[in-house]
Homo-oligomer: A and B are copies of this chain.
Amino acid sequence: MEQKPAKASRKPRADSARNRELLLQAAREVFSAGGPGASLEGVARKAGVGIGTLYRHFPTRDALFEAVYRGDIDRLADLAEQLSKEAGPVEALRLWLREGVEVVATKKGMMATLALATDGKQDLFAYSHQRLTAAATALLSRAVEAGEIRDDITPEDLLRALVGLCHAPDRPGWRTSVARLVDVLVDGLKRGNG
């Protein structure tokens, strides 16, 4: 029942690793500027690499998104944990949502990633989805157990709201508008408003 031939596989090639980095860097820039619809050929051009190379490293557009923004997802998930220790249950929720908004604000491409990560269907985003869901679950259940918010809101609801509110982060007054809405939403979560 041997798992793998384990063929003493040779060291990964240096040019491959280098190109991968070049692509990630280029994608970061292109996506941040141009949003989720940005051209992959543009990314390859900017990286100074053939389009074929891009597709070999990242077989789909989503794979590239995943690779580019996984770090941000992780940071957001970690933040939830930290806030659970440092802030009251409701305040932690509020601050977490605000930070989520803030992250998106600086990276248009992040929106698409967040949306995909929120969607459980994509195998590719299973990891990100799991991390975000766990973060949302933790924040919500803590507040529920403290008896401070209603108990019928799912983590999916919270993520949906986060992603939804972040759409169109270009419009004048976006930040303040979304900040208000986050407040409204969090207030609405509190017990005894029904």
- A interface residue numbers (CB < 8 A to B): 115, 119, 150, 152-154, 156-157, 160-161, 163-168, 171, 173, 177-178, 180-181, 183-190, 193-194
Given contact pairs A184-B188, A187-B193, A177 touches B156 in the complex (Cβ within 8 A): yes
Other-chain residue from B163, B168, B188 in contact with A187 (beta carbon distance below 8 A): B188
Cα(A150)–Cα(B181), bound, Å:
12
In the complex the two chains form, is A180's CB within 8 Å of B167's CB?
no
The closest CB in chain B to the CB of A179 belongs to B157
In the complex this chain forms, how many copies of it are found?
2
The closest CB in chain B to the CB of A182 belongs to B188
In the complex the two chains form, is A115's CB within 8 Å of B188's CB?
no
Given contact pairs A156-B177, A164-B166, A119 touches B187 in the complex (Cβ within 8 A): no
Shortest 5 CB-CB contacts between residues of A and residues of B:
A188-B188, A164-B164, A184-B188, A187-B193, A187-B188
Given contact pairs A164-B166, A167-B167, A157 touches B181 in the complex (Cβ within 8 A): yes
Give the shortest distance, in Å, between A119 (CB) and chain B (any CB).
Answer: 7
In the complex the two chains form, is B160's CB within 8 Å of A177's CB?
yes
In the complex the two chains form, is B164's CB within 8 Å of A165's CB?
yes
Given contact pairs A186-B188, A187-B187, A168 touches B177 in the complex (Cβ within 8 A): no
The closest CB in chain B to the CB of A164 belongs to B164
Give the shortest distance, in Å, between A12 (CB) and chain B (any CB).
Answer: 37
The closest CB in chain B to the CB of A162 belongs to B164
Cα(A184)–Cα(B160), bound, Å:
13
Q: Which residues of B contact A153 (CB under 8 A)?
A: 180, 184
The closest CB in chain B to the CB of A180 belongs to B157
Cα(A153)–Cα(B183), bound, Å:
11
Give the shortest distance, in Å, between A11 (CB) and chain B (any CB).
Answer: 43
Give the shortest distance, in Å, between A101 (CB) and chain B (any CB).
Answer: 11
